[in-house]
Amino acid sequence: MCSMSNFPDEGGGIFVTRRGIFGTDGVRGRANRAPMDSETALALGRAVAAMFRNGGHRHRIVVGKDTRLSGYMIEQALASGICSMGADVCFVGPLPTPGIAFITRSMRADAGVVISASHNPYSDNGIKFFDRDGFKLADDIEDRIEQLAIEGIPENDRPTCEAVGRAVRIDDAPGRYIQFLKNTFPRKYLLDGIRIVLDCANGASYKVAPAVFRELGATVIEVGTKPDGININSGCGSLHLETLCSAVTLNNAHVGIALDGDADRIIMCDERGHVIDGDVIMALCADSLKRRDKLTNNTLVATIMSNLALDHAMRERGINVVRTKVGDRYVIRSMRDGDYALGGEQSGHMIFLKHNTTGDGILAGLQVLAIMMDENKPMSELSSILTPFPQVHKDVRVANKKEMDSIPALAKEIAACQTELGEKGRLVLRYSGTENIARVMVEGASQERIQEMATSLAGLIDQHLGTMPSM
C-alpha cells in the first residue's frame, strides 16, 4: 500500500494523494482540507460535466447531499464547476444516496452526485458519482475524471454567454423517492399495528424514512431525526446501536431499524433488542426470494467479510454464495455480471437490483418487514436462520498503508494464525478505502483464541504502522 501523504500540483491547485483523489467509494476526507475542499470540488464538478457530455442536448446533473454542515460549501463549489462547463445542476437537497441514484435515472439526467461521507463523523465529507443509469462509476471512468480534475479544463473549452449552465431545485424529489419506496412493498400488506423504532442517524433520511413507514401504517418511534449539521452519526445510526436496542424494548416495538448517515446501510434489532446484522438480513431475504422463485440463478453475492455461517445457511437451502472484495460497488459489479438479484455486506449495504442500483437501507427494511408479514413470525424467530460463527473485529488507526506482509514480524504472525485456523476459520486483514485504518477480522471456533489472535495482530500493526487500536 502507498503512503497517504499529500502533495500539491505544480500550479498550487488541488491536492491529491499518492493513491489518487478517489478511494474505494468516491472521494472522501476531512472537510475543508484537500481533497475535500472547495477547490477540488470545483475541479471535480468541471471534470464530471466534461466527462458526461454526450451530444448537443442540454446536459443535467443531479446533486444531493446528507446533513453535514460542510455540505453547503461542497455543494456550491461542485455546482459552480458543473455550470461552468455548460451543464445544468438539479439540486435535490438532503436525500439518501439511493434516493439520488433513483432520481438520476428517473429524470434521465446525465449523471448524479452525492455529497456524503456515509457513516463517517460530521468533520469528514465525501463525493460519490453515479452514471445516468444510477450505478457507481467504473474505475476507469473515475480515473479519467480524476485526470481531468488534476490537469484542469482549458479555458477555451469552457462555454460562455447563454451556454453557461443553470441551477434549479427539484422540490418534489423526496416525494418521488418516498413513492418509489412504497411501491417496493407488497400492495396486499399494510403495517397497521406494527411499532418500529427508526434511527436515521441525524442524516439524509431524517424526513423520508419516517414518512415511508408511517404512510404504510406503522407506528414510528423516531431516533436521530433532528440534524443540526454536526450530529450526524454521533452516538446514533447503524454504528451505534445501544439507543436503538434499548428504545425497542422500552417501547415494546416489533423491530428496530438503524440507518447510517446517507441511508445506504441498514442494521436491525429484534423485539428483544438483539442486533441483526447484514449477514442475517441477507440470509432472510435470499431465502424468501428463493421460495418465491425470484432469486435469479439461486445466488447471493456477499463480500469476504461475511461470516462463514452465511455460506452454511445458504447451502442448506440450495443457495450459492459468491464472494467479492469489500465494497458495495464490487458486490454490484458481480451482480450485474452474473445477473444476480440480491447482494450485500455484513456492514449493512443491501442491494436489491430489481428495485434499485445501489445499497438502500430503507428499501431493505421494507423487504424484511414484508417477510415478517408473510411468515407471521417475530424477528427473533426469523433471525434464527443464521447462527454466526465466533468473529472478532479490530480497527487500528495507521500513519500509512504499507503492505502488511512486508513487515517481517507481522508476516510471521499472520502465517502462524492462518496455519492454526486452517479450514475451521478465517483471517482477513485489509485497509479501509475511506480512512487511515487497518481492519483485522478473525473468525474461528474458539472466541477466546480468536480474540487473542486479533489483539496480537492489532498490536503488531499499531507497533509498526500507527497508533493503538480503536474499538
Q: Which residues are catalytic?
A: 118
The Cα–Cα gap between 332 and 351 comes to 7
Nearest to 101 by CA among 142, 62, 139: 62
Nearest to 72 by CA among 24, 122, 106, 107: 122
Nearest to 145 by CA among 22, 5, 11: 22
197 in Cβ contact with 379 (< 8 Å): no
The Cα–Cα gap between 18 and 35 comes to 12
The Cα–Cα gap between 440 and 432 comes to 10
Please give the angle made by the CA atoms of 96, 101 and 107, to the nearest 5 degrees.
Answer: 120
18 in Cβ contact with 3 (< 8 Å): yes
82 in Cβ contact with 44 (< 8 Å): no
What distances in angstroms separate CA 209 from CA 13, 221, 433, 462, one per listed residue? 40, 12, 28, 40
Amino acid at 44: L
| Biggest alpha carbon–alpha carbon distance for the chain | 69
The Cα–Cα gap between 389 and 424 comes to 10
The stretches of 235-306 forming alpha helices (DSSP H) are 242-250, 278-291
What distances in angstroms separate CA 13 from CA 32, 51, 81, one per listed residue? 14, 20, 14
- CB-side neighbour CA atoms (13 Å) of 101: 23
Kindly tell me the burial class for residue 121, based on how many C-beta atoms sit within 10 Å of its own C-beta (0-12, 13-18, 19 or more): middle
